[in-house]
Amino acid sequence: MKILEGQVALITGARRGIGKATIESFARMGADVWACARSFDSEFEEFCSSLSSEWGVEVRPLYFDLEDKKQIMASIKEVRKVGQITCLVNCAGIVAESSSFAMTKAESVMRVLDVNLVKQMELTQYALRGMADGGSIVNLSSIAAAGGMPGQYAYACSKNAVEIWTKMLAQELGVRSIRVNAVAPGFVDTDMGNQAAGDLLDRILDSTVMKRMAKPQEIADVIAAISSNLFSYMTGQTVYVDGGGASRNG
């Protein structure tokens, strides 16, 4: 179903995990995509090319380091030369090693907050200058924002802040009819998801209804769906996709 036909999306964190699955979902649903990754990768180039051929859309790799302001600015300028984007998906993010509060280092907290919140905000500021009115922004939150990830103080704080930012930005951009929402996955079968879960995985999954981790594509399809006009009256919301309750019952 081509619910994103005619849309142009910029998706960060696109090389692996949820981000990679998201560019596939957007392409399958008819959108042209700027697939953002940190550095050149021949396999990633081939993946983007194969998506373009399979779904008859443009999937263009775009390389920049989210922690480098100059690279962000240069990349957004490149995008604007081609045309306006209509959808922005902030998938990029990092997670620190799980630890008790007493052992959580301030430097680790600062870097996670910087990448998962501050740099996302900075990228969004630049992207909005070339974004069409009536578009959509989706930020990636997590069940950690609701206290569903023990030992992840920095990550949980960063994602909770993402949800507050999402609500505030939705209010400000309503005048441009740009919708802003967040998707909060439960534990997802990705490198990051497995790193964050660690030894707690069995206990955490036992608290969910579905008793398993999510597949990246299951999260990506939700991101793509709420970016479409099927959800044209939804903004300022966080959609929890957590397998049935880990974020609230764990």
User: What structural domains and CATH numbers belong to the chain?
Assistant: 8-249 (3.40.50.720)
Q: Which two tokens stand for residue 128?
A: 């909005």
CA-CA distance, 237 to 88, in Å (whole number)?
Answer: 16
pLDDT (mean) for 14-40: 97
pLDDT of residue 205: 75
pLDDT score of 247: 47
CA distance 145 to 189: 19
What is the model's pTM?
Answer: 0.93
Task: Check pLDDT > 90 for residue 213.
Answer: no
Mean pLDDT for the stretch of residues 132-138: 97
**Which residues, in sequence order, are CB contacts of 99 under 8 Å at separation 6+?**
151, 153
Instruction: State pLDDT tens for residues 162-172.
Output: 999 999 999 99
Which tokens sit at 6?
Answer: 């005619």
Q: Are 139 and 116 in contact (CB under 8 A)?
A: no
At 87-121, the pLDDT tens digits run 999 999 998 877 777 778 889 899 999 999 999 99
Q: Tell whether the model's pLDDT for residue 190 goes beyond 60.
A: yes
pLDDT category of residue 25 using cuts at 50, 70 and 90? very high
Which positions are annotated as active-site residues?
155
Residue 198 has pLDDT above 80, yes or no: no
Assign 137 to helix, strand or coil.
strand
Mean pLDDT throughout 165-190?
96
pLDDT score at 230: 97
pLDDT tens digit string along 38-96?
999 999 999 999 999 999 999 999 999 999 999 999 999 999 999 999 999 999 999 88
* pLDDT at residue 211, as a whole number: 83
Average pLDDT on 150-177 reads 94
Q: Identify the DSSP state of 109.
A: H
Tokens of 198: 């660690």
Could you give phi then psi for residue 25, rounded to 5 degrees?
A: -65, -45
The pLDDT value recorded for residue 147 is 78
The pLDDT assigned to 6 comes to: 97
Sign of CA dihedral 161, 155, 145, 225: positive
When mean pLDDT is compared across 21-35, 42-56, 147-161, 207-221, the lowest value belongs to: 147-161
Bridge partners for 181 per DSSP: 138
The closest alpha carbon to 151, from 102, 193, 203, 185, belongs to 102
- Strand order, beta sheet including 179-185: 59-63, 32-37, 8-11, 85-90, 131-140, 179-185, 238-241
Tell me the C-alpha distance between 204 and 250, whole Å.
7
Q: Is the pLDDT of residue 193 over 70?
A: no
- Percent of the chain past pLDDT 70, that is, above it, reads 94
Helix, strand, coil fractions of the chain, as percent rounded to 5: 50, 20, 30
End-to-end CA distance of the chain: give it in Å, rounded: 36
Looking at per-residue pLDDT, the higher value among 93 and 151 belongs to 93
pLDDT of res. 250: 44
DSSP 31-91: -EEEEEESS--HHHHHHHHHHHHHHTS-EEEEE--TT-HHHHHHHHHHHHHH--EEEEEE-
The mean per-residue pLDDT over the stretch 173-200 comes to 83
